[in-house]
Structure 1
Amino acid sequence: MTEEFHRIRRLPPYVFAEVNAAKAKARAAAEDIVDLGMGNPDSPTPPHIVAKLVEAVQDPRTHRYSMSKGIPGLRRALAGYYDRRFGVKLDPETEVVATLGSKEGLANLAQAISSPGDTILVPNPSYPIHQFGFIIAGATARSLPCTPDDEMLAAIDRAVKHSVPKPTAVIVNFPSNPTAHLASIEFYRELVKLCRRHELFILSDLAYAELYFGEVPPPSVLEVEGAKDITVEFTSMSKTYNMPGWRMGFAAGNPRLIAALARVKSYLDYGAFTPIQVAATAALNGPQDGVAEMRRLYRERRDLLVKGLRQAGWEVPSPEGSMFVWAPIPEKFRHLGSVEFSKLLLARAKVAVAPGLGFGEHGDGHVRIALVENNHRIRQALRGIRSFLQGDNLAPALQGSDTPALQGSDTPAEAVKESVTA
């Protein structure tokens, strides 16, 4: 009875837990930590969406069980969004399912379409549920390059030829969490052509569709002719409308995959609370001024953070989308790996970031910095980082002589790295 459960054995220790524990310890000691670790929007949900929720919750009929696949008005609203934004026609009855956030939708689709021994192709690094949703379902994940280019396409082609059994599906996520890469419609055309030829499903995570900083909005893979024959795409209200805690997302696309997801969900939940679905409908159908303001806010924060880091001597790329800066660890600290560097940054600069190892072993040379604090707090973080980078911080911190936030770690960085790789 002491043996660990099979599915739990396949999950490595949660990498972010180490930094979170150090962060909690520092805050318990009354240290002021600027938290740029979790992609948790700090802006309020637009007032008209909140007002619709309050209005709906006053009606006692909305307190009963809802619909697992989403109320009809919400599914029609999502179809309307796809038509306006991407020129994609969706049948709200057969090609749309409302989910409890895109994370839940991905995990439940994994349960619906994969079996023990199946192989799924996943970019590395990528958002953890992309890989571990399928690992929990018993499948095996095979890593792909994370950039939307010929290298990724060639890796997919190789994987089909050299994997036994042949892969079932490929996951893409652009704008990407954590790397902030954007894909072009030309890349999606080649991806669809390749996956149709190899009979692979495409599972696209488009949670950051509206968080872009250039003139051209990111496309949907469903815009490509024939993509719907093999594709399901996941979207979310969390970032677009500052509704992360509301847990409202969608899956849209291939009717067979949508039906499989809906069938699994019918056994697991009765859908989101109806007033939340009503308010989400109002968000999709109502004024979109808040979305443009959200983009402006994140662009301003991006520019402030990237400029400040570069002035401090930390060269980081400026992302064209998402709410993250994917920052290569400075050369002086690269040998530490992302977990130890993140803890060092927390202890010395009083800034929390997400270690890249948490997104896959190929992310270990980076940290992810989220644009989730206001300009004043970002400037505070930059002052701490500048002082840290320009000081002699390395040796004392590694010795742990006066660094409470670095002590008491249960899992050394190399052990975590090995467990994630396994």
Structure 2
Amino acid sequence: MPPIADRVTSLPPYLFSIFQQKKKELEARGVDVIDLGIGAPDLPTPSFIINRLVAEVQKPDNHIYSSYNGCKEFRQAVADFYKKTYHVELDPDTEVLALIGSKEGIAHMAMTVLNPGDTALIPDPGYPVYRSAVHLAGGKPAYLPLDANNGYQPEFHKVPADVRDAASVMFLNYPSNPTAATVDVSTFDQAIDFARKHKLAFLHDAAYSAVTFDGYQAPSVLQSRGAKEVAVEFGSLSKSFNMTGWRIGYVVGNKELVKALSIVKSNTDTSQFLPIQKAGATALRSDFSAVKENVSIYEKRMTIMLDALRNIGIEVSKPKGTFFIWAPVPEGFTSASFVEKVLEEAGVILTPGIAFGPSGDNYFRISLSVDTKRLQEAADRMKVWNPKES
């Protein structure tokens, strides 16, 4: 057997790949599986974006390597989007970097800011990639507590002094995956103050910033005073414009962090295919009516699932953002045992909260990534946990 690095062999398998394998096994047995696990939009990419891609693919000049930091049109479109949406000025040449999806950027940024043995504060519960990215970079992940009773806002005072003093980087994510929690700018003000005081790089993942409900607009961390001194923000077109497979995103903010990440990326990739970047620019320069249509669909789906959950005794308040529902596990179950029961007996894939950190074990996550008919069917099948409702 060829040698494999310890950093790889010691890394737990990616949870969602495990579920996809279980899905294949069940389908091979003839089970009709409804997948509410992975956060991948099922809606189509808007046609105006596809049309721009097709037009640009026809041009031979676009078949060359992109510049390492992404094409100017895309970076300018990101800067214009921040100016229009958040009234934040960005220099497209020094404060914006194109990414091959924000997940890639987050993983490479961990490598950029962490030396072996350095500590990184990651939200608990939080997106599992933060932990794995820190692990692969040789760092030590430490949990930043998020409490449901506090709206899943960071509780910096609960970070032990020795952990806080050892940390060099902090991750946050709002609207939150998995909890769907949302915040206002004051939360970012506190986070910026904490990062400045303790000399941390602050990495904010804003992948779901455009998927919001009831008039709520998710703020940008760059709206906070002093944010550019310590922070960068990762954005993605995956969730807003249904462009998951296109792999296009960006990072904006602190010049030094952006430049350092560009050095890492220039030694590992050559940015994204130019027609995809240009189609992404077209998306960001649009009126976002396509995003609003998506949000309207997710809101209808959310209403169906929230009503169905209440009917089987699981109470959940409607979130203001993301297309996730973060629901409490029924009494007598752990998140893993509940999800396992629903998968084996109902053929519905959910995500156990323990996958997102220790404090998630009393919850499970639902992704609203199927149409309303299938969503209702999934909700009906989930009654297996409660014989009174079956």
TM-score range, shorter chain: over 0.9
Write the distance in 2 (CA, Å) between the matches of 1:13 and 1:86: 38
Query: Hey, what's the Cα distance between the residues in 2 that align with 1:196 and 1:323?
Result: 32
- 1:37 deviation in Å? 0.6
CA-atom RMSD, angstroms?
1.9
> Secondary structure, in 3 states, of the residue corresponding to 2:174?
coil
Q: TM-score with structure 1 length normalisation?
A: 0.88
Question: Cα offset for 1:8?
Answer: 1.9
User: 2:363 aligned to 357, 363, 366, which one?
Assistant: 366
Question: Which residue in the other structure is 1:174 paired with?
Answer: 174
Query: Deviation of residue 346 (structure 1)?
Result: 1.2
- Render the CA deviation track for 1:45-80: whole Å, top value 9, x for unaligned: 011000000000011111111122110010000001
Secondary structure of the residue aligned to 1:251 is strand
Shifted more, 190-199 versus 247-256: the winner is 190-199
- Higher mean Cα deviation, 362-371 or 171-180? 362-371
Count of equivalent residues: 387
Name the amino acid aligned to 2:381. G
1:157-213 Cα distance to aligned partner (Å, 9 max, x none): x44x31386210111101000011111111111221222122111100000001111
CA contact (8 A) 1:149 1:187 kept: no
2:339 corresponds to which residue?
342
| Distance apart, 1:146 and its partner CA | 2.3
* Secondary structure in structure 2 of the residue aligned to 1:368: strand
3-state DSSP of counterpart to 2:271 = coil
How far apart, in 2, do the equivalents of 1:258 and 1:250 lie?
Answer: 10
| Contact in 1 for aligned 2:342/2:384 (Cα 8 Å) | no
Contact 1:309 1:386 in 2 (8 A): no
Q: Aligned in 2, Cα 1:29/1:378: closer, same or farther, shift over 3 Å?
A: same
Supply the AA of the counterpart residue of 1:106: I
CA distance in 2, matches of 1:221, 1:281: 22
Is the contact between residue 82 and residue 90 of structure 2 (CA under 8 Å) also seen in structure 1?
yes
Q: Comparing 373-382 with 355-364, which one deviates more in the overlay?
A: 355-364
Map of 1:68-217 to 2, 5 A cutoff?
68-147=68-147, 152-155=155-158, 158-159=159-160, 161-163=161-163, 166-217=166-217
Map 1:220-299 to 2 at 5 A: 220-299=220-299
- The correspondence for 2:348, drawn from 333, 341, 351, is 351
| Contact 2:77–2:281 (8 Å) recurs in 1 | yes
**How far does the alpha carbon of each residue in 1:356-398 deviate from its partner, in whole angstroms, 9 at most, with x for none?**
22212222222110000111111111111124422699xxxxx
Q: What is the CA–CA distance in structure 1 between the aligned matches of 2:155 and 2:2, rounded to whole Å?
A: 42
Distance 2:182 2:322 in 1: 9
Gaps (5+ residues) in structure 1? 394-422
Cα distance in 1 for residues equivalent to 2:108 and 2:188: 24
Find the aligned partners of 2:154 and 2:136 in 1 and give their Cα distance.
Answer: 28
Normalised to the residue count of structure 2, the TM-score between the two structures is 0.94
1:36 aligns with 2:30: no
Tell me the secondary structure at the aligned position of residue 168 of structure 1.
Answer: strand
Q: Distance in 1 between matches of 2:191 and 2:385?
A: 43
Name which of structure 1's ranges 143-152 and 38-47 shifts more when overlaid on structure 2. 143-152
Give the 3-state SS of the residue equivalent to 2:240 in structure 1.
coil
Give me the identity figure in percent. Answer: 37
1-structure distance, mates of 2:154, 2:182: 15
Q: Find the residue that maps to 1:300 and give its secondary structure.
A: helix
Task: Tell me: CA distance 1:50–1:194, structure 2 relative to 1, closer, same or farther (3 Å).
Answer: same
